[in-house]
Chain A
């Protein structure tokens, strides 16, 4: 396809997407999602992933038309809205209360809180964060719009060897670029793949790993596990970290003066914000990372190229705008591999991807052919969702900050109740409720021991598909393992995966050598 034709096709598809996204039911659900996401982002005990996981079962009813005019597009717009809201909402508590509402807002403790408290400019700190988040998200959405179709068209040519190689690459990035010990990532990855293998084998139909239990024949459902790991697990971790008490609070009201100054500060740092947005996008596209790693990368880049390095940690605006633009850009980018290749870029997009399976859709390039309304409606809703989130944030900061005043004794059991509803309602199964509670305890424990949860979740979602492609490739190649290297693309991707797994090994080797040099 020529570039001009490609551009015209993309723009006209996006216009169709806006027509879908602007339907009243979709706008209403986007608004609901964004508000829920902002609330979830503000609450320290609940993250974007758990919020999306808890509400996932409800979207089944929305996708099947329980609301007038609703369909699968409405459902994904709601879930994506929660994600966008949480991306913005997490920063409010970091800046005002020195408590990160979300992992990607941790980095804002360095300069956001000092600007708010020490320099007495909470409004400016919040406005700077929202403005840079909005720009980061906008840049990422534009890149998403113009690259998604190209990636999907390329991916449509993939056979089982290429698809298997892409799965391996996504797991390799989780191991090689993860923040925790790589060997723990391997253990969690394998656990996720093993859990995904429970029940019927999709190729031969044989039973496996169910130990004679009929209730396990259908496999271990992804939803109760994720609600447990993230919803209940986070609440337990939060209970331990904060105890049962109240936090010191700053109040803030965003005035026009703050917003105008934030835009002036943005103009001074436009190169930083735009370049961090692009870096954030590239980082977010890599499976398994998303916004948190990008936020730290963004902070590092902002500090590295700043002329005022000494101001970092004392309320430097670049220390807010740099990470925020990268984090929001990565958050949007994490949906790109999920939609185009069927590989989630972050735990939240893994949960959204599970939603696609539940609604009867197959994530991946085929979506661009068979469900254009769905894909382009989602992409258009990203523009609308961020605009809506930005406006709500500018107007409703005092209200959102008040959420933190809801007492622990009410909000915590309420989150548990909502988690239980979420896990039960998908299959009307009490077994799922107990799976949720059990994985809540397991997730809390794994978190304490610094076992990463992202590889477990991503492997649980992708396990079935990966095994299917592996075996299809073996059947196609008559059992010859060299079939995996039958195309240049599969070979390059597999080689890249090997390099990514070798990175942590090289890192640990250099770490061991350094002290030896010192002592010698």
Chain B
């Protein structure tokens, strides 16, 4: 029900943004319906479909056990989702720039792809794999190294670098 409601909300926002679909000067060529017509009616279709889904969910008896099989299944997903979000955040760091003073405030410096990957892979091996320290260290070093060799040197794909790279301390 909440998912259908979210889809209806997205549809409403898109319809509001595309309200110019009804402007008489919508199109630039004779016969053209303009740039807003298509998103407006697509959003309308999406909204109607989501309302029907919500109505059916409301009028149909729902399974007693709910969406998740149990607490364990929720934890299995969270154990993967939370570190993944942290990993993505650590790559670029956390901070903001005050345009008025031109000062940058840094809460977490950008660790870049390689340092963040070392932490992520090593952390996972230590936390969920329960490996010994030297295995954790090996995984944390070997994977970023192999990825560096394959992507930066092999495919010449430049991945985000850390604050150490910006200061000229490390090549990653």
Q: In the complex the two chains form, is B38's CB within 8 Å of A421's CB?
A: no
Known interface pairs A239-B76, A441-B81, A474-B32; A194-B14 also in contact (CB < 8 Å):
yes
Q: Is A416 an interface residue (CB 8 A)?
A: yes
Known interface pairs A209-B39, A420-B87, A467-B38; A190-B143 also in contact (CB < 8 Å):
no
Known interface pairs A208-B39, A475-B31; A409-B128 also in contact (CB < 8 Å):
yes
Chain A residue at minimum C-beta to C-beta distance from B93:
A430
Known interface pairs A410-B129, A434-B88, A437-B85; A471-B33 also in contact (CB < 8 Å):
yes
* 8 Å CB contact of B139 from A203, A410, A412: A410
Q: Which residues of B contact A208 (CB under 8 A)?
A: 17-18, 35-36, 39
Q: Looking at the assembled complex, report how far the CB atom of B8 sits from the nearest CB atom of chain A, in whole angstroms.
A: 10
Q: Is B107 an interface residue (CB 8 A)?
A: no
Within 8 A of A (CB), among B40-62: 42-43, 45-46, 49-50, 52-53, 56
Interface of chain A: mostly helix, strand, loop or mixed = helix
Q: Is B95 an interface residue (CB 8 A)?
A: no
Q: Which residues of A contact B11 (CB under 8 A)?
A: 190, 194
Known interface pairs A183-B56, A203-B35, A444-B77; A66-B120 also in contact (CB < 8 Å):
no
Chain A residue at minimum C-beta to C-beta distance from B39:
A197
Interface size of A in residues (CB-CB distance below 8 Å): 64
* 8 Å CB contact of A58 from B14, B46, B157: B157
**Stretch of A129-137, A338-346, A476-484 lying at the B interface:** A476-484
The 7 closest A-B CB pairs, nearest first, are A409-B129, A190-B46, A201-B35, A479-B31, A187-B49, A186-B49, A206-B35
Q: Which residues of B contact A (CB under 8 A)?
A: 3-4, 7, 10-11, 14, 17-18, 27-36, 38-39, 42-43, 45-46, 49-50, 52-53, 56, 67-69, 72-73, 76-77, 79-81, 83-85, 87-88, 91-92, 113, 117, 120-121, 124-125, 127-129, 131, 139, 143, 147, 151, 155-160
Q: Which residues of A contact B (CB under 8 A)?
A: 57-58, 61, 66, 181, 183-184, 186-187, 190-191, 193-194, 197, 201, 203-204, 206, 208-209, 211, 232, 235-236, 239-240, 243-244, 407-410, 412-414, 416-417, 420-421, 424-425, 428, 430, 433-434, 437, 440-441, 444-446, 448-449, 451, 467, 470-471, 474-480
